[in-house]
Amino acid sequence: MFEFDGQHRVFGVTALENLFITEYMPGADGDYVKVYLSALYHCQQQDGSFGIPEMALELGLGEDRIEAALRYWERRRLLSRVSDKPPRYRFYHLGERMLTGQDAPGGDRDYIAFAEAIYALFQNRRKIRPSEIAMAFEWVSEMHLPQEVVMMLLTYCMDTRGVSFTFKAAQKLAATMAEDGVKTPEDAEQYLSHSKHISDGAKAVLRRFNMRRLPTEDELRLYRLWTQDWGFTHDGILAACAETVKASNPSFGYLNGILEGLRRRGASGRDAKQVEQQIAQESKGLAGAREVLDALGTRTSATLILKAYEALLQDAPHELIVLAARDVAARRGRFEDIEKRLKAWREQGITTAEAAAKSAPTPATGGRQPKTVSAQRYAQREYTGNELSEREAKMLEEARKYDQP
């Protein structure tokens, strides 16, 4: 029967209780306050079609952020969700609820007790934002982790990552714990003890790199991969760190390449001694492969031909392979031709470098043509004795001219 004109939406007034400003707003996240005011405005405008997607677009926030804010105000008992499809919320009159004793400005007593426990845990070591408390409370309400487990998780994060750790990083750990079925403090103690082992191991690797900082989430993930999935021991990983000295900026990524190579090439073991033996063996193999490539006169990476070189060693000694490479180089052949040369020698009964050298001496230049000096690039002329005498006479005559005063 009655309605405001179209300008009321812009120039009208949105009623906001003072209790919200004095009791609720100071402790709330700024985005959460924006969501509450926007919801209150559209409620009073009776915008029945206005929903979470529209609010996210209007405020420039993600829909998950909008939903987190609405859950926060639900816990504070300022509104409640009355339906899910579509989501609908009912606002409560704060003054009336206080006067009737239905609620107090504190709101959800479980939530307040949880917040007080977090404040007590951190004491004055850092400032805790309301949004962080709201996030941690969702680990209890949404992930169904016991409150004691959440406190153990936060303590673990402080011990391993420092008091300034982010709650977003802690939330990833909380989600993993929930997925892995952590339900009791005993489960959490066992889980976090293993996680601490991962963290301590990653820190030790960083110290080998002369880095004095805490490991990142990606670095922790890599260390967990090396130990849990690939089976390397902590000492084995540290042994592989010795190979990172070849890099100007050693990193977890570089070390991961080394360990992945060892695993792919069929490392027989994963402890320090086994890793050191395999690295030493491969280093010797690479040195041999480089010598063969030098004899061949090519700049191909030794790593690329290592397997092929090791296959050649099954049938011929290293010295014979080098001679074969020089012989192939003299014929302008390729690495693949070395095997053909060795096969031809075997058919002739030549199985040693000494026998090969006697049967077909390899040029001392290793297959390369002798260097030609610039004078050799011009046609050379032979002079007779008379021609030489005439030239000498002319040169003497020219010299006397310069000697005369």
Say what the pLDDT of residue 101 is. 56
Is residue 379 very low, low, confident or very high in pLDDT (cuts 50, 70, 90)? very low
Rounded to 5 degrees, φ, ψ at 180 are -85, 5
Kindly report, residue by residue over 143-156, the tens digit of the pLDDT.
999 999 999 999 99
Say what the pLDDT of residue 146 is. 95
399 torsion bin: left (phi>0), alpha (psi -120 to 50), beta (else): alpha
55/45 Cα distance (integer angstroms) = 14
Q: Of 185 and 85, which is predicted with more confidence? A: 185
64/17 Cα distance (integer angstroms) = 27
pLDDT of residue 140 exceeding 50, the answer is: yes
Q: What is the DSSP letter of 91?
A: E
pLDDT of residue 56 exceeding 90, the answer is: yes
Kindly report, residue by residue over 190-202, the tens digit of the pLDDT.
999 988 899 899 9
Say what the pLDDT of residue 373 is. 45
Is residue 397 very low, low, confident or very high in pLDDT (cuts 50, 70, 90)? low
Say what the pLDDT of residue 261 is. 83
Say what the pLDDT of residue 122 is. 92
Say what the pLDDT of residue 252 is. 94
SS3 content of the chain, % helix, strand, coil (to 5): 65, 5, 30
Is residue 123 very low, low, confident or very high in pLDDT (cuts 50, 70, 90)? confident
Mean pLDDT of 97-119: 70
> 224, 198 in Cβ contact below 8 A?
yes
91/55 Cα distance (integer angstroms) = 17
pLDDT of residue 362 exceeding 70, the answer is: no
Rounded to 5 degrees, φ, ψ at 331 are -95, 10
With vertex at residue 12, the alpha carbon angle to CA 10 and CA 16, rounded to the nearest 5 degrees, is: 115
Say what the pLDDT of residue 390 is. 60
Kindly report, residue by residue over 22-40, the tens digit of the pLDDT.
888 887 888 999 999 999 9
| Of 282, 291, 285, 298, the residue nearest 334 (C-alpha) | 298
Say what the pLDDT of residue 376 is. 43
Tokens describing residue 143: 């992930």
Q: State the chain's mean pLDDT as an integer.
A: 81
The tally of CA atoms less than 13 A away on the side-chain side of residue 237 is 29
pLDDT of residue 186 exceeding 60, the answer is: yes
